[in-house]
Amino acid sequence: MTTVAAGPDQAGRFGAFGGRLAPEALMAALEELTRAYEAARADPAFQADLAALHRDYTGRPTLLTEVPGFAAHAGGARVFLKREDMAHTGSHKINNVLGQALLAKRMGKRRLIAETGAGQHGVATATAAALLGLECVVYMGEEDTRRQALNVARMRMLGADVVPVTVGSRTLKDAINESFRDWVATVQTTHYCIGSVMGPHPFPMMVRDFQRVIGVEAREQILAAAGRLPDAVIACVGGGSNAIGIFHAFIGDPSVRLIGCEAGGEGLPTGRHAATLAGGSPGVIHGMRTYLLQDDEGQTLPTHSISAGLDYPGVGPEHAWLRDAGRAEYRAITDDEAMAAFSVLCRTEGIIPAIESAHALAGALQVGPGLGREAVLVVNLSGRGDKDVDIAARYFGHLGDGASGPVAAGGAAGAAAVSTQHGHPAGAGR
């Protein structure tokens, strides 16, 4: 397993995955970025600047919170949440963005561009740009600008230019295409601040390194809180940055199961999902070789998830490698399973999770019972649910004006089932 933890190689390959399958116009910039990043990584001054920002601005280390009320629904195992929802801007995305924004300044770039799905990465990028005095343009699929209107407003308040993408499927993958189209024309002055562990080398490695802090903290915190390593670390996977972030420090601990929860949408058999590792096949997309959802002729398939942040047909190449090496396991969580877990956490712990993170919570509800009461689980709560209140309220039929979606009936039934057993079990400590 030490070889699995050591990737990628000089060409950016994680086993058979990764690499740099990019247009020639970007190759020089990617090489420049690799050199600049490697120099920054080895520079104590850069690392000190980033650590200071994380301490004084992001609010790191984030908490590790034990959630016994939630755990009662997961077979009684001890469950701990890594509270990335408490990081500034409301998700783990800020970890990566501050690193890349500092690097962009160091490279003399004055403009940041970013793609965003749920809007969390766009908000984080707009935030870092405001803080560090950089211009910011965020590309967002038109469909996502509707699903996540609140985050569009947040980005604009922070001074970013939000560009709705109206081509293709109008979701995250098209926002990525449009970001590459911008970058290829502006690369001398612009840094493309990719939001996940994807894209051509060095992005999967660099973003992983910037997110690695999650697992480094969590490993130390769980040893202090539980006195031992966890049996499983669970995270949601879209592109996979929060999952790699929390997994990486545990890769060398063979007793720790690493479980990634992908967006199962309406279920794998329906084809309406975004479960790349569970339902995809190897190929090339967005500059990397990885698993993707494609048809028999290599055309990217449309994806579906209730969560905009997981609605992506590819996945970071390091996850593809961890899967094929058997070091991590990936499962598909349906929209309904995620929303049921969302509701359990709200009602038992007073924490509203992002719908993305609710997929990881659902994973804990599924694997917990099989691990028994002595088990210890760490779940990455990658973001908070403020941005999802409208979607969740429609799903559960909480709006009270009849404005509920077609799934409201099933969702409300799920919520009712949960509400009969909410609250902490007697004697559960924190």
Partner 1 sequence: MTAAGATGPATVSGAFARAAAQRRAALVGYLPAGFPSVTGAIAAARAMAAAGADVVEIGLPYSDPLMDGPVIQEAVHRALAGGVRVADVLRTVEEVSAAGVPVLVMTYWNPVERYGVAAFARDLAAAGGRGLITPDLPPEEAGPWLATAAERGLDAVFLVAPSSPEERIKLICSSCRGFVYAASVMGITGARARVSDAAAGLVARVRQHTGLPVAVGLGVSSGGQAAEVASFADGVIVGSAFVRRLLDAPDEAAGERAVAALAAELAAGVRQPAGS
- Please list the active-site residues: 93, 115, 382
* Residue whose CB is less far from partner 1, 286 or 387: 286
* Residue whose CB is less far from partner 1, 63 or 301: 301
The reply to whether 164 sits near partner 1 by the rule CB under 8 A is: no
Q: Which of residues 3-22 bind partner 1 (CB under 8 A)?
A: 11, 19-22
Q: Angle CA(80)–CA(85)–CA(87) in degrees, nearest 5?
A: 115
In three-state form (DSSP H/G/I as H, E/B as E, the rest C), the secondary structure along the chain is CHHHHHCCCCCCEECCEECCCCCHHHHHHHHHHHHHHHHHHCCHHHHHHHHHHHHHHHCCCCCEEECHHHHCCCCCCEEEEEEHHHCHHHECHHHHHHHHHHHHHHCCCCEEEEEECCCHHHHHHHHHHHHHCCEEEEEEEHHHHHHCHHHHHHHHHCCCEEEEECCCCCCHHHHHHHHHHHHHHHCCCEEECCCCCCCCCCHHHHHHHHHCHHHHHHHHHHHHHHCCCCCEEEEEECCCHHHHHHHHHHCCCCCCEEEEEEEEECCHHHCCCECHHHHCEEEEECCEEEEECECCCCCECCCCCCCHHHCCCECCHHHHHHHHCCCEEEEEEEHHHHHHHHHHHHHHHCCCECHHHHHHHHHHHHHHHHHCCCCEEEEEECEECHHHHHHHHHHHCCCCCCCCCCCHHHHHHHHHHHHCCCCCCCCCCC
Q: Which stretch binds partner 1 (CB under 8 A): 147-155, 224-232, 238-246, 295-303?
A: 295-303
Min dist. Cβ of residue 139 to partner 1 (A): 12
The reply to whether 401 sits near partner 1 by the rule CB under 8 A is: no
Q: Which of residues 195-234 bind partner 1 (CB under 8 A)?
A: none
The reply to whether 300 sits near partner 1 by the rule CB under 8 A is: yes
The reply to whether 297 sits near partner 1 by the rule CB under 8 A is: yes
- Which residue from 27, 51, 157, 417 is in contact with partner 1, where contact means CB under 8 A? 27
Residue in the structure block whose two tokens are 């993305």: 356
The reply to whether 285 sits near partner 1 by the rule CB under 8 A is: yes
**Listed residue (164, 148, 189) closest to 309, CA to CA:** 148
- Which residue from 296, 326, 406, 426 is in contact with partner 1, where contact means CB under 8 A? 296
Min dist. Cβ of residue 174 to partner 1 (A): 8
Min dist. Cβ of residue 117 to partner 1 (A): 15
Q: Which stretch binds partner 1 (CB under 8 A): 24-32, 125-133, 206-214, 250-258?
A: 24-32
* Residue whose CB is less far from partner 1, 188 or 420: 188
Q: Which stretch binds partner 1 (CB under 8 A): 26-34, 212-220, 223-231, 248-256?
A: 26-34
The reply to whether 422 sits near partner 1 by the rule CB under 8 A is: no
- Which residue from 73, 93, 173, 248 is in contact with partner 1, where contact means CB under 8 A? 173
The reply to whether 299 sits near partner 1 by the rule CB under 8 A is: yes
Min dist. Cβ of residue 73 to partner 1 (A): 40
- Which residue from 59, 76, 164, 168 is in contact with partner 1, where contact means CB under 8 A? 168
- Which residue from 64, 94, 187, 354 is in contact with partner 1, where contact means CB under 8 A? 187
Q: Which stretch binds partner 1 (CB under 8 A): 25-33, 87-95, 156-164, 384-392?
A: 25-33
Task: Report how many residues bind partner 1 under the rule CB under 8 A.
Answer: 36
- Which residue from 52, 167, 403, 416 is in contact with partner 1, where contact means CB under 8 A? 167
Q: Which of residues 83-142 bind partner 1 (CB under 8 A)?
A: none
